[in-house]
Chain A
Amino acid sequence: MQSWYNYIDNLVNDSNIINEKMPEIIEAFVDYYGEEMREKITDKFKNVTILQQITPKQIQKNCENISSEFEKQTLEQIKNILNLNSVLELPDYISNGITDEEKEQIRPLYKNLVFFQGHINKYIQALTLPIEKINEINLEGPLNDIKGLLNIEKDVYQVYFNDLIRREKEMFPPHLQEHINKIEYLNHQLDEKKINIDEFYNKLNELEQTDNLKEIKQMIGDFDGNEGLIDSFSTEANEKLQDKNASKWQKKQILQNRKKYLELFEKDMGNLDLDDMKKVLPEPLEADKFLLYKQEYEFSAKTNIYSQIPIHQKNLEIIKNNFPDFAEEDYIEMVSNENNLGSCMAELTNKNNQYFKHGLIVISKGENLENLDDTLIHELNHWLEINIDIPLDENAKFYSGTSGWVTIGGQIIDEDFEENLENQETEEDPYVLLDENINDQIARAITKKMHDKGTYIFSHKDHVNLSKNSYYQNYDFLTKDFFDEFKEEIIKSRQVGSFKYLDYRFDGYVTTLNDLVNKCQETLGHDIGQIIIDMEKGKITDEVKSALEFKRAAEILLDQMKQCQTIDNKQAAKHR
């Protein structure tokens, strides 16, 4: 039971666990790469900042998953004790046929389940409550440190949204004024403490049911990422209308949205065609000003939420210390983005013409918790393989470099740092998938070495499953033999960031393998996980047949590479 609590604590609370375990992590890397790499590994890992990320929604989802997993396991144990074929037989058996002896046997398991779920449910309940209510919940044991983990996201956004509406009253047509007045009155009553938070939300919910709020949201968007019709009056939209390269459908959408907005003000636009509409539409509203205002509101709302979560409090402190130029807005945007499941970023800072390299790894605790150790090692291996070229020109604004076989680049942070200068290569690097797959194979091997020595960071030893983590590993069936056969050369080429070195060594066959992996993704990528499962089970489908053809092609390539090696060995012997 205790281990489950620790598991949840690891999930939600800030912890120094990565720093504490760093010596063991380094040992696992050295164990894999060899003693000669110790210095490089140690130096590199001194210069990396690792942030843990989780959103309130993800915390809640994970607790629910843990609760249901615990229930599943307990019921399975009870089923085995009672010698039943399925847990579905449990209710009938317990009502009709259970003996006193069996009751005694299953009682402790059942008690544990009730105890555990009682805590978890309180925990989940707390996550969904407004902050003012949290003190009313009596939480015991290791789960009581949760005040900062509330899922107040929706509520905080709602308060800001309403505030925005009442402040920007003139943006709305007269027929919505009555609704806005009600919102204003509610906010005022809450401010004056004439109603409590529960009453506020109840009354607000009643108001939300009206069509008027729908119209308001349609006009100005919401904080759930949905744009409003007002966006079609922005400078951005104006530029798009003038842009010769913009598509007809984009321009039409802008004009349609403007028309809808004006119709909400009950201005009849009739059935004018696009050209006529351009003539009659008024000058754009002060949309930019409003959109900026809305953006600031959204940022305040997010900051309000994240500043209450211990992990993020600590992260913000680290960011301020290690990356003074990293804007708090960017941090909030980064961690509130549930798409960022794991990433590694290289930073190059120029201080009085002295360059400093630093890595920033972000790992999400929102997904695949059982394999989070592997994700961390995956990102650390990226950082180990990153080479940043120091620019010769001291006025350079951009750096370039490599991560394994992939080209990377970014802005140099200096005293004139101005964010978002456009100088980024936009074509997708052709080696990404093969590079990630090999990085993943290395990471899994290192993680396994670390786990074999008993070091677990986030993963729970009973639930870790290294064969089911990233999407990249689905391509092992094309690359594993290649990697196993030429591991030493592959690792060498990755450390120096040169795919060409390896490709030259094997007469261009590695490029052919890379193309094959990309082609496989293009053809089967959308369902590759299932195809691999079918392949393992010996099930023959059209997709499996196609995958087997790719596999055969990879095997032929491997034979050709081995022949290159044989010729090289013979030539080397001749020279000796």
Chain B
Amino acid sequence: MDINSIKITIKNMYQFTNIQIDALNKKVNINGKNKDITLEKIEQLLGIIYLWKNEYIDNSKIDGESFKIEVMDNETVTTFKGKNKFPKNYNAFKKWVGEL
């Protein structure tokens, strides 16, 4: 695994979700609670987001939902963010989050 850590934030009118994954130690912190996470699960996430554009933004809409994902490897931080506009497989990402 080339990834060191991943940070995820999802915000909407009814919730704020904060997830921090420590890929090296296979730990995940979901809204302040620590759990173990498998490499397979982390790879599953990378398989969902690897083709995403870095930004999906619709500024004409208020409320709705926004997200930010930061993937850190040894060299770079790759950031994906969106507001009221989503990649076509966003639901798969939400499902992945829901299953954590």
Query: How many whole Å from B27's CB to the nearest CB in chain A?
Result: 16
Q: Could you list 26 examples of A-B contacts with CB < 8 Å? A: A221-B89, A224-B95, A227-B48, A231-B51, A232-B51, A247-B73, A247-B78, A248-B73, A248-B76, A249-B50, A252-B2, A337-B86, A338-B94, A340-B65, A341-B12, A343-B64, A343-B84, A375-B13, A406-B62, A407-B59, A425-B57, A426-B55, A426-B57, A471-B11, A527-B31, A527-B32
Contacts of A347 in B (CB 8 A): 60
Provided the pairs A339-B86, A527-B31 are in contact, do residues A367 and B78 lie with their beta carbons within 8 angstroms?
A: no
Instruction: Say yes or no: is B3 at the interface (Cβ < 8 Å to chain A).
Output: yes
Q: Do B76 and A247 touch across chains, with their CB atoms under 8 A apart?
A: yes
Q: Are B58 and A226 in contact, CB atoms less than 8 angstroms apart? A: no
Choose from B11, B14, B73, B90 the contact partner of A368 (Cβ within 8 Å): B14
Counted as pairs of residues, one from A and one from B, with CB atoms less than 8 Å apart, the total is 146
Contact of B51 (CB < 8 Å), options: A227, A345, A346: A227
| Cross-chain contact of B92 among A225, A410, A425, A470 (Cβ < 8 A) | A225
Contact A224 B92 (CB under 8 A): yes
Which residues of chain B in 43-90 are interfacial with respect to chain A, using CB atoms and an 8 Å cutoff? 46-48, 50-51, 55, 57-66, 71, 73, 75-76, 78, 81, 83-84, 86, 88-90
- Shortest beta-carbon distance from A447 to chain B in Å: 15
Known: A472-B13, A521-B16. A424 touches B59 (CB 8 A): yes
Select A341's contact among B14, B71, B95, beta carbons within 8 Å: B14
Point out the residue from A226, A367, A525 that lies within 8 Å of B18, measured CB to CB. A525
Interface residues of B in 2-45 (CB under 8 A from A): 2-3, 11-18, 31-32
Distance between A95 CB and nearest chain B CB, rounded to angstroms: 40
Q: A339-B12, A470-B13, A525-B16 are in contact. Are A249 and B62 (CB under 8 A)?
A: no
- B32 and A526 contact, CB distance less than 8 A: yes
In this assembly, does A219 line the interface, its C-beta being within 8 Å of a C-beta of chain B? no
> Which of A249, A342, A428 has a CB less than 8 Å from the CB of B63?
A342
User: Given A225-B89, A249-B2, A236–B14 Cβ distance below 8 Å?
Assistant: no
**Chain A residue with the shortest CB-CB distance to B77:** A247
Give Cα distance in the complex from A343 to B61, angstroms: 7
User: What residues on A are CB-neighbors of B93 within 8 Å?
Assistant: 225
Chain A residue with the shortest CB-CB distance to B52 = A250
A201 CA to B64 CA in the complex, in Å?
37
Identify the closest chain B residue to A254 (Cβ).
Answer: B50
- CB B95 to nearest CB in A, in angstroms, measures 7
Contact digits for A362-381, partner B, Cβ 8 Å, 1 yes 0 no: 00000110000001001100
Are the C-beta atoms of A409 and B59 separated by less than 8 Å? yes
> Chain B: which residue is nearest A345 at the CB level?
B61
Interface residues of B (CB under 8 A from A): 2-3, 11-18, 31-32, 46-48, 50-51, 55, 57-66, 71, 73, 75-76, 78, 81, 83-84, 86, 88-95
Question: Given A224-B91, A226-B89, does the pair A411, B62 have CB atoms closer than 8 Å?
Answer: no
* A240 part of interface (Cβ distance < 8 Å): yes
Q: What 6 A-B pairs have minimum CB-CB distances, sorted nearest first?
A: A410-B60, A225-B91, A225-B92, A526-B18, A526-B31, A253-B50
The answer to whether B78 touches A250, judged by C-beta atoms less than 8 angstroms apart, is: yes
| Residues B89 and A250 in contact, CB atoms below 8 Å apart | no
Interface residues of A (CB under 8 A from B): 221, 224-227, 231-232, 234, 236-237, 240, 246-250, 252-254, 257, 295, 337-347, 367-368, 375, 378-379, 382, 386, 403, 406-411, 424-426, 428, 436, 469-472, 521, 525-528, 543
Least distance between B19 CB and chain A CB atoms (Å): 9
Q: A368-B14, A425-B59, A471-B16 are in contact. Are A248 and B75 (CB under 8 A)?
A: yes
Whole-angstrom distance from the CB of A36 to the nearest CB of chain B? 25
User: With contacts A234-B51, A248-B73, A471-B12 known, what are 5 further pairs, Cβ within 8 A?
Assistant: A224-B91, A224-B95, A225-B93, A249-B2, A528-B16
**Judging by beta carbons under 8 Å apart, are B60 and A409 in contact?**
yes
| CB-based nearest A residue for B2 | A249
Contact between B32 and A426, CB atoms less than 8 A apart: no
Assembly CA distance A163 to B76 (angstroms): 42
Chain A residues with CB under 8 Å of B32's CB are 526-527, 543
Is A410 a contact partner of B95 (Cβ separation < 8 A)?
A: no
Residues on B with beta carbons closer than 8 Å to the beta carbon of A409:
59-60
Q: Which residues of A contact B64 (CB under 8 A)?
A: 339-343
- What residues on A are CB-neighbors of B46 within 8 Å? 249, 253
Across-interface contacts of B76 in A (CB, < 8 A): 247-248
- Complex contacts, B90 vs chain A, CB 8 Å: 225, 337, 339
Known: A226-B92, A471-B14, A525-B18. A249 touches B60 (CB 8 A): no
Task: Let me know if B58 and A367 touch, CB within 8 A.
Answer: no
Residues of A within 8 A of B95 (CB): 224-225
Q: What chain A residues lie within 8 Å of B63 (beta carbons)?
A: 341-344, 378-379, 382, 436
Q: Which residues of chain A are near B11, meaning CB under 8 Å?
A: 471
Cα distance A382–B61 in the bound complex, in angstroms: 10
The answer to whether B92 and A227 have CB atoms under 8 Å apart is yes
* Interfacial chain A residues near B13, Cβ < 8 Å: 341-342, 375, 378, 436, 470-472
Q: Nearest-CB distance from A175 to chain B (Å)?
A: 24
Cβ contact within 8 Å between B12 and A408: no
Q: How far is the CB of A544 from chain B (nearest CB, A)?
A: 13
**Complex alpha-carbon distance, A507 and B31, angstroms:** 36
